[in-house]
Amino acid sequence: MSELHERILASFSAQGLMATLGAELIHVAAGEVQIALMPRPELSQQHGYIHAGAITSVLDSACGYAALTVAPAGADVLTVEFKINFVRPAVAERFVAIGRVTKAGKTLTVCQGEVVGEQGSGREVIAVMQATIINIPGVT
């Protein structure tokens, strides 16, 4: 496991919400992070779709961790803002949130993300996000 992957995994493992959701870190590379989410009844809304809050939380984390992969050594990150669009109901066997760095700056990093629903061999985009992430001094 690379040092970059270990850095992201250590932070991810400290997130109570990701553990509560049952989210799993599945890919880490410079500028890109992927997080998987398996549907469960506890994550659903009244129509049986996975709740927008669960999808949004996992995608926010994917974008934030993508930003952390390119942040200066010793820095941490926080979300400043995001915009999310849901393009279809969240129904799938598995969801993968993919966060990618669009532009990394000294203070702010802009990321794009998408959640893909996987059903059998098919994949469909469920949601898209644009997020702004700020670099902050490392938190201990």
How would you class 3 by CB atoms within 10 Å of its CB: exposed for 0-12, middle for 13-18, buried for 19 or more?
exposed
pLDDT of residue 102: 98
Mean pLDDT, consecutive 10-residue stretches, the chain (140 aa), reads 92 96 98 98 96 98 98 94 97 97 96 97 97 88
How many domains, the chain?
Answer: 1
Range of the domain at 20: 3-137
pLDDT of residue 73: 87
Predicted TM-score (pTM) of the model is 0.96
Domain of 53: which CATH number?
A: 3.10.129.10
pLDDT of residue 138: 79
